[in-house]
């Protein structure tokens, strides 16, 4: 069963493939589906942004589409970067963004370094019916970047119960526990009820 991922983010597409393909889905990036657009994320929440992306791709294809909007919320920064995670402070790379967050938390004690990854998925079936699911992955921020796996803020995020960052985890391990995995499990529960 084909499903188009409404994203141009290679790291995100790779994660969706690893999670969904063993379940029988043929995961296709929007680029592989011949769609070369960047949907502007003008929403004020993860849900609104995922909906904007899914609707834009569905409108062009009328096929199953899955979009997610995700990011990291840092308690000490009052929830920032939040929905602006991928374009925080207009910095150009993941490394610049993670370094900027680390700089803002310089000298902040461990008990005040709480953070969570958030993922909201919007799924639209071939008939245009929309479903939403959310996932949260709680943890804290490291004091330095560590690890080569993952993308985004993975090198500075230590999940609760772990001593390593999500970038130091094996992809298979991360894909069982992450905010994206949790949101996908929630979505699959919803779809299996129908």
Task: For residues 152 and 120, give the distance between their C-alpha atoms in angstroms, rounded to a whole number.
Answer: 16
Candidates 2, 68, 69, 154; catalytic one: 69
Q: Which residues contact 174 (CB under 8 A, 6 or more apart)?
A: 15, 149, 150, 154, 166, 181
Burial of 86 (0-12, 13-18, 19+ CB in 10 A): middle
Active site includes 154?
no
How many C-beta atoms surround the C-beta of residue 168 within 10 A? 19
Q: Exposed, middle or buried by CB within 10 Å (0-12, 13-18, 19+), for 35? A: middle
User: 152, 137 in Cβ contact below 8 A?
Assistant: no
Residues identified as active-site: 69
């Amino acid at each position: 069963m084909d499903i188009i991922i409404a994203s141009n983010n290679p790291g995100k597409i790779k994660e969706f493939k690893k999670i969904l393909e063993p379940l029988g889905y043929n995961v296709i990036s929007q680029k592989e589906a011949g769609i070369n657009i960047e949907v502007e994320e003008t929403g004020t929440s993860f849900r609104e942004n995922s909906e904007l992306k899914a609707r834009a791709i569905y409108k062009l294809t009328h096929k199953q589409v899955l979009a997610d909007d995700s990011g990291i919320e840092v308690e000490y920064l009052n929830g920032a970067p939040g929905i602006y995670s991928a374009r925080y402070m207009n910095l150009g790379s993941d490394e610049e963004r993670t370094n900027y967050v680390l700089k803002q938390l310089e000298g902040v004690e461990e008990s005040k370094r709480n953070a969570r990854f958030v993922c909201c998925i919007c799924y639209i079936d071939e008939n245009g019916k929309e479903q939403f699911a959310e996932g949260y992955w709680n943890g804290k921020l490291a004091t330095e970047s560590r690890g080569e796996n993952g993308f985004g803020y993975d090198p500075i995020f230590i999940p609760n119960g772990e001593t390593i960052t999500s970038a130091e985890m094996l992809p298979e391990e991360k894909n069982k526990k992450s905010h994206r995995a949790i949101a996908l499990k929630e979505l699959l529960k919803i779809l299996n009820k129908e």
